[in-house]
Amino acid sequence: MERMPIAKAINAGLRAAMERDPRVLLMGEDIGRLGGVFRVTDGLQKDFGEDRVLDTPLAEAGIVGTALGMALRGYRPVCEIQFNGFVYPAFSQIVTQLAKLRARSRGRLSVPVVIRMPAGGGIGSVEHHSESPEALFAHVPGLRVVYPSSAHDAYWTVQQSIASADPVLFLEPERRYWEKGDVDTALAPGEVTSLHRARVLRSGTDATVVAYGPTVKLALDAAAEAAEDGTQLEVVDLRSISPLDVDTVTESVRRTGRLVVVQEAPLSHGTGAELAAQVTERCFYSLEAPVKRVGGYHLPYPAARVEEHYLPTVDRVLDAVEQALAA
Amino acid sequence: MERMPIAKAINAGLRAAMERDPRVLLMGEDIGRLGGVFRVTDGLQKDFGEDRVLDTPLAEAGIVGTALGMALRGYRPVCEIQFNGFVYPAFSQIVTQLAKLRARSRGRLSVPVVIRMPAGGGIGSVEHHSESPEALFAHVPGLRVVYPSSAHDAYWTVQQSIASADPVLFLEPERRYWEKGDVDTALAPGEVTSLHRARVLRSGTDATVVAYGPTVKLALDAAAEAAEDGTQLEVVDLRSISPLDVDTVTESVRRTGRLVVVQEAPLSHGTGAELAAQVTERCFYSLEAPVKRVGGYHLPYPAARVEEHYLPTVDRVLDAVEQALAA
Amino acid sequence: MTDAAAGPARGEEMVQLLDATGARRAHPDHDVHLEPAEALEVLRDLVLLRRLDAEAEALQRQGELGLWAGSRGQEAAQVGAARALRRQDHVFPSYRDHGFLLARGVDPLHLLSLFRGVDHGGWDPVEHGVHPYTLVIAAQMLPAVGYAMGVQRDGAVGTGDPARDTAVVACFGDGATSQGEAAEALNWAAVYNAPVVFLCQNNQWAISEPVRQQSTVPLHRRAEGAGVPGVLVDGNDVLAVLSVVRSALERARSGGGPTFVEAYTYRMGAHTTADDPGRYRDAAEVDAWREKDPIDRFRAHLRAEGVLDDAFEERLAAEADAFAERLRAGVQDMADPEPASMFEHAYAEPHPQVVAERDEFLAAWARHEQDEQHATAGRDR
Amino acid sequence: MTDAAAGPARGEEMVQLLDATGARRAHPDHDVHLEPAEALEVLRDLVLLRRLDAEAEALQRQGELGLWAGSRGQEAAQVGAARALRRQDHVFPSYRDHGFLLARGVDPLHLLSLFRGVDHGGWDPVEHGVHPYTLVIAAQMLPAVGYAMGVQRDGAVGTGDPARDTAVVACFGDGATSQGEAAEALNWAAVYNAPVVFLCQNNQWAISEPVRQQSTVPLHRRAEGAGVPGVLVDGNDVLAVLSVVRSALERARSGGGPTFVEAYTYRMGAHTTADDPGRYRDAAEVDAWREKDPIDRFRAHLRAEGVLDDAFEERLAAEADAFAERLRAGVQDMADPEPASMFEHAYAEPHPQVVAERDEFLAAWARHEQDEQHATAGRDR
Ligand SMILES: Cc1ncc(C[n+]2csc(CCOP(=O)(O)OP(=O)(O)O)c2C)c(N)n1
Ligand SMILES: Cc1ncc(C[n+]2csc(CCOP(=O)(O)OP(=O)(O)O)c2C)c(N)n1
Ligand SMILES: [Mg+2]
Ligand SMILES: [Mg+2]
């Protein structure tokens, strides 16, 4: 068991994957000498060389498109998109090529490309650095979308994503990069939670709060606060957005009868909507209240000095819980 | 009242907008001399000249990006994306620029750009010509998304979209391009249904079926078939995906107690999910069954000879209705 | 007559080894000598490719194919380039590059299945070294460069071993050069010195748009701006194309880096069977290009050289007829895919949403079959 | 010493009117004569711009700004180019082009509000003819071309009326030239002959990546590949930049079409205050460029010409101090925006989702205020 921040855990996970498999390559802007703007790839170019850690030209379509080509040649490229707002130049490669090549070739081609990117807000940054694009990828068949919330999960899920034969969008909660957690690096393969399983982080009986990535901490804080008032919230960390582990969530909701989903992304067509639809369908008779969603507002992400009002807060989560309990 | 196919109605709507306002321009690939691959812009370059109907280089980012610049200079460009699968090279311009410029400039800049594209499947086409990307745009704050289903609506909504001060993604149901309908071109402005209102196309008491774009016909056919068995379905045409007219839908569901949403797009994070979440929240106590969704499967759009099995059918709609009624 | 008929811009030197009459021309950097047997094979490739096109067009008219994107007029560009390939090379074609498929031993029925709507191309990309057709303009170019970067990392460049050194070909059209991704691909290839040949078939048209609407600069010059040397070659001269592409591939394999080849040619037919070129181009232009027909030209050359005789022509005609017959029969026999097969290859590892949807689909299917049986049984009674 | 310090590639001619010591150089195509008063104004612009940078950096260190992207070293490129503008011209800046803002009369507090996180830039883009800063690399380039196409349609090109003919400037960095959108923008400008000047400040670095990682070709040559004539100018020579950009703007305004200007300069500071250049570049390189400082050079020139004296320097220093003081005070006084104001400008016309969310937000806010009051009242009792 080692204590380390999430950024460091991803770094360690990348290193482990690179040591295990010489076909694993890293590609991105400023990931080599600089070690990435968040230092997630710190030291890896020094240790693995410029042929395996590529500082690329400033072109995201280029990064993803050439990664795809390398994957066709048997490599396992891990792309870094410097900030989530800069993934869109690569969108055509992701949606029309990466997501479809396996189906297009009827299984003859594999494109095991991982696309890592910091996501979510709360770091007081300028435009385009703080958004949550997971829904855009989760809507696209052929992709997998993973969004860990803790150092331990970050360490393991990045390795599992690299090992996956399918393309994976790997979102990293940027405002939690420096939060430390215990990482059990010594687990045997069979002991690691599988990539797409949700995890119950706290048991409770009164309502289920589902969160993922940066909002998990919020959900846990809300649960702690609610407990002081005698309300027992169950907290589920989704960990994966595509596929969604709806089983774990419904199992919880069947017991609690109430569900609140917390995300940073705008609500419309978001993960909360998908969960609400699926959980309501499966638990129609055990739900005591409609699913409540807490998320970003339907606005372009605002300036940094307002973002605390834009993002979900413990208060908003508790408000939603209260409404669910009142129903 | 004139009878014309949808493609012709859009053509007439574009012509009317261009006649009314010299700042309206059309931009796209093959829209001039050829009149577009679906002939939607047929004859417009001949009548309005190459300065107002631009055959552009083959570059979608270029089309949308320069359209945005022209809008800043006071023009009202209408871009054609030849097929929905080719909008992704323009995604960065749409998501990071077009959607945000008004907010970024605190209302000082307007970018009244319309992006038209054929969408939906069922035309027996090759890859990338048959998808339904509305959810990707509806998730993005700052955009509006419109998807008419009839010639009359197509005629008017394209003009309303052009008149809108906000950027509008205008989806056209490609497999319905040649279906004829009555268009009342003589309405006074006040008589035209507003751009983002849903419309009840058929009244019924047993369940509400919500559809939009190409699935509206399916819903109407299903309702006709159900009526033979004595089931009265209410059919609502959404017409707009962002914003969603949830009021009209909930009003209907309060009466029928049941809701089925029919879309061509994959379900996950789709419009059906959003409607399910919102309607369930608002009508929790009047819903007799969970909202059912019928849509494309979570697969890259399949080859043409299988698409009839991929797309929603009348049978699948009726199955969903049956399940809703059985609950 | 429009500019496309007039040939490349003045001052642009175009590599040519056969003039329009098929007479041999000398060139300071390029030469190619084919043994008679190989020369006749080239003719055969050209003729079969054209026959494929004619047959597919007819099948589309009969409703057997959903669509067809023809290669007529561009045979020399494709056959010449394809002949320069080695076994280990890898091709990233566009949607009109049928000549490459034939040359790489792909059963053309695996191509016609795509245009019939049975699949997205039935060939094995690994076995044949030919990537699936890419329909999103220019989207194959960056993957081609990435593949070439992988080749480099495999140490399969510049070893001097002709069975090992590998090059990649990215095929695309004139219109494709306008896409941002095309520019990125050229730049990446230059920056990483990737073993890739960019083969641009400038067939003068991108659907209804002539090449002057795409660029103010000859296309091969655009590549030079990106750091990739450009060569202009007469795309209707199969020998010139073979020679130019062979040099470019050799350069790539030896570690010399990327080359951009602009094959100046012409799309003789419609963009696809869904297109109506009468709306946007003059018959005179097409007529002018008919004079430069790549097959007639090569045929005249072989006749003049005494390599080709009537007996061979007859055998070839018979072979082409048999080939066409096989295509027709094969397409007509082509079964639709099992509907449930669409669920098979979306993901390598099961995705619960897909699994659930497949189960639901199969259940509905079974219900439906039962209903049918009931209905039939009912009718029987 | 790395290649960036050595200057442009051999054989690349760079327009220079002042050498590194500030001595005047002749150039066959370029010359510029400034009256003493204007020359001193230029110096003032350079000095205030540098002071803005220093002050903002300090404010960031003190936590008053969230981030700062410095322009130190690039003053001549920005001030020289900005001075070539006419009132009616329109600028599409990147995020480091503070010199343009000052020149266009934008209150620098409207810029600092962006880096403080109060807004995304507080100036009026229409009033000042300066588009909001664009942070997505190269994303301002196509809109700039489109704006220029609008200018054409307005008939504001080639009329000969100096108050009417209009040009557009698109600013971007060396790294930006790798983006596909940059290539598209150049091509569109060429195809439509748009009145736009592409001003590339090649400051040698894109965060940690030197320009050789972006391109194998000098940047202005890339533009030529796209059909846009390229000029290389010493970006640390304010007179040369002024002259080259002035010609390019004049060409654009007169209907001559686009030009690409590569201003060869250097980013003396970190990429932003979040960056640590010590991790990737040598102090020696920075030292070498310090020798070419654009302000020292211009100052030396003005001294040599007898235009600048100590008295002016003193007045300028005092003005800069007052300017800095105003910035400091202004930033410290800058209020956070009203939280609910974020709902105001997402859409021009009401969007029900936004309306509902705003109402919910305001209700929660009111509840919250009430709770606070209750709490306070409770405490009072
Ligand atoms: C990104 C994208 N945009 C638009 C299209 C629609 N489209 C299909 S083919 C074509 C023209 C392509 O021209 P060119 O690159 O010259 O190739 P050619 O068809 O002449 O072989 C267009 C616009 C597409 N397939 N992909
Ligand atoms: C599309 C996109 N990708 C990545 C980034 C992150 N990023 C911000 S600045 C920068 C380097 C830009 O270099 P250059 O264009 O030379 O401009 P400079 O900062 O030197 O002025 C990068 C990679 C971004 N802003 N946009
Ligand atoms: Mg072409
Ligand atoms: Mg730079």
- Which pLDDT score, from 0 to 100, does residue C6 have? 61
- Chain A residues with CB under 8 Å of B253 CB are none
How many structural domains comprise chain A? Answer: 2
Bridge partners (DSSP) listed for residue C363? none
Nearest to D149 among B57, B66, B102 (CB): B66
Of ligand 2's listed atoms, the one at least distance from the Cα of D135 is 25
Q: Cβ–Cβ of D279/A37 closer than 8 Å?
A: no
B233/chain C closest Cα distance in angstroms: 22
pLDDT in tens, chain C (381 residues): 345 556 787 677 999 999 989 999 999 999 999 999 999 999 999 999 999 999 999 999 999 999 999 999 999 999 999 999 999 999 999 999 999 999 999 999 999 999 999 999 999 999 999 999 999 999 999 999 999 999 999 999 999 999 999 999 999 999 999 999 999 999 999 999 999 999 999 999 999 999 999 999 999 999 999 999 999 999 999 999 999 999 999 999 999 999 999 999 999 999 999 999 999 999 999 999 999 999 999 999 999 999 999 999 999 999 999 999 999 999 999 999 999 999 999 999 999 999 999 999 999 999 888 887 777 665 554
Share of chain D above pLDDT 70, in %: 96
Residue of C nearest to A110 (CA): C348
Residues A139 and A216 in one domain: no
CA of A91 to the centre of ligand 4 (A): 24
Closest ligand 2 atom to A30 CA? 23
pLDDT at D10 over 80: no
CB atoms within 10 A of CB C270: 18
In 3D space, the residue among C158, D225, A170, A323 whose CA is nearest the CA of residue B281 turns out to be A323
CA proximity to D212, closest of D201, D204, D203, D224: D204
Which residues in chain A belong to E strands, given as ranges?
Answer: 2-5, 24-28, 53-55, 76-80, 114-119, 144-146, 168-173, 180-183, 199-202, 207-211, 233-237, 240-242, 259-266, 292-296
Q: Report the complex ipTM.
A: 0.97
Q: Judge residue D375's burial from the number of C-beta atoms within 10 Å of its C-beta, 0-12 exposed, 13-18 middle, 19 or more buried.
A: exposed
Work out which ligand 1 atom sits closest to the CA atom of B88.
1
Q: How confident is the model at residue D2 (pLDDT cuts 50, 70, 90)?
A: very low
pLDDT above 60 (res D268):
yes
Residue B307, token pair as written in the block: 């698409």
A19/A101 same-domain check: yes
**Cβ–ligand 2 contact at D176 (below 6 Å):** yes
Task: Specify whether A37 is located in the same domain as A133.
Answer: yes
Q: How many CB pairs under 8 A join A and B?
A: 129
Question: CB-side exposure of B325: number of CA atoms within 13 Å?
Answer: 16
The token pair at D3 is 């290649």
Q: Identify all chain B residues contacting A65, using CB atoms and an 8 Å cutoff.
A: none
Sequence length of chain D is 381
Range of the domain at A222: 199-326
For tokens 């250049």, the residue is D277
Is residue B122 within 8 A of residue B176, CB to CB? The reply is: no
Rounded Cα distance, A215 and A295, in Å: 9
Same structural domain, B64 and B44:
yes
For residue A267, which residues of chain D lie inside 8 Å, CB to CB?
353
Task: Please state, in angstroms and rounded to a whole number, the distance separating the CA atoms of residues D115 and D135.
Answer: 12
Give domain D3-332's CATH architecture.
3-Layer(aba) Sandwich (3.40)
**Residue B321 sits in the same domain as residue B216:** yes
Of A108, A165, A243, the CB nearest to C125: A108
| CA distances from residue C11 to C14, C20, C218, C232, C333 in whole angstroms, order as listed | 9, 19, 11, 12, 53
The number of the ligand 1 atom at minimal distance from the alpha carbon of C172 is 15
Among C120, C280, C347, C368, which one carries the catalytic annotation?
A: C280
Q: Residue B305: which of C118, C208, C276 has the nearest Cβ?
A: C118
- Is C135 touching ligand 1 by the criterion CB < 6 Å? yes
Question: CA-nearest residue of chain B to C359?
Answer: B297
Give SS3 for A29.
coil
Residues A245, A289: one domain?
yes
pLDDT at position C9? 76
Quickly tell me which residue has 């041999």 as its tokens: C24
**Of B78, B73, B74, B63, the residue nearest B114 (C-alpha):** B78
Residues D342-352, mean pLDDT to the nearest whole number: 96
Over residues B142-165, the mean pLDDT reads 98
Determine the pLDDT at residue D5: 57
Q: What is the pLDDT of residues B251-273, one digit of tens each?
A: 999 999 999 999 999 999 999 99
Do B177 and B279 belong together in one domain? Answer: no
Distance (Å, whole) CA A92 – CA B89: 5
Mean pLDDT throughout A30-36? 98
Same domain, B244 and B108: no
**Does C344 touch chain A if contact means CB atoms closer than 8 Å?**
yes
Max Cα distance, chain D (Å): 86
Q: Whose CA is nearest to atom 19 of ligand 1?
A: C206
For ligand 1, whether the C-beta of C156 sits within 6 Å is no
D266 is known as an active-site residue: no
- Per-residue confidence (pLDDT) for residue C2, from 0 to 100: 43
CB-hemisphere CA count at 13 Å for B274? 26
User: CATH no. for residue B279?
Assistant: 3.40.50.920
Q: What is the DSSP string of A65-79?
A: HHHHHHHHTT-EEEE
Tell which of B136, B269, B293 to mutate to test the A interface (max A CBs under 10 Å).
Answer: B269
- Chain D partners within 8 Å of B98 (Cβ): none
Interface contact flag, B290 A280, Cβ < 8 Å: yes
Q: Do C217 and D223 touch (CB under 8 A)?
A: no
Measured from the Cβ of residue B1, the count of other Cβ atoms closer than 10 Å reads 8
CATH number at residue B95: 3.40.50.970
- CB within 8 Å: B103 and D345: yes
Question: Are D159 and D185 a contacting pair, CB within 8 Å?
Answer: no
Angstrom distances, CA of residue C171 to CA of B187, C46, C97, D171, D227? 52, 18, 8, 34, 23
Q: B85 with B169, same domain?
A: yes
Does D96 sit in the ligand 2 pocket, CB within 6 Å? Answer: yes
For residue D379, pLDDT over 80 is answered with no
**What's the DSSP call for residue D18?**
B
User: What is the per-residue pLDDT for D4?
Assistant: 55
The answer, for B43 touching chain C at a CB cutoff of 8 Å, is no
Q: Which chain D positions have a beta carbon within 8 Å of C181's beta carbon?
A: 180
Nearest to B17 by CA among B132, B148, B137, B155: B155
A65–C139: do the CB atoms touch at under 8 Å?
yes
Single out the catalytic residue among D128, D131, D220, D271: D271
Residues A214 and A184 in one domain: no
Question: What are the residues whose beta carbons fall under 8 Å from the beta carbon of C59, sequence distance 6 or more?
Answer: C65, C68, C112, C327, C328, C331
DSSP A150: S
Query: Which of C92, C94, C137, C203 is the pocket-test mutation for ligand 1 (most atoms within 8 Å of CB)?
Result: C137
Query: Which residues in B lie closer than 8 A to residue C364 (C-beta atoms)?
Result: 315-316, 319
Whether D142 is in the pocket of ligand 2, judged by its Cβ within 6 Å, is no
Q: How far is C115 from chain A (nearest CA, A)?
A: 13
Residue D381: the pLDDT is 46
Same domain, B181 and B286: no
Query: What is the reported pLDDT for C276?
Result: 95
The rounded mean pLDDT for chain B is: 97
Q: Name the helix (H) or strand (E) containing C103.
A: helix C98-103
- Residue B218 CA to its chain's centroid (Å): 15
* pLDDT band (50, 70, 90) for residue A87: very high
For residue B129, indicate whether it is catalytic: yes
Q: Is C274 in the pocket of ligand 1 (CB under 6 A)?
A: no
- What are the residue ranges spanned by the domains of chain D? 3-332, 340-380
Residue owning the nearest CA to atom 3 of ligand 1? B86
- Please say which residue of B124, B156, B191 terminates a domain: B191
Among the options B128, B129, B269, B309, which is catalytic?
B129
A247 plus A157 within the same structural domain: no
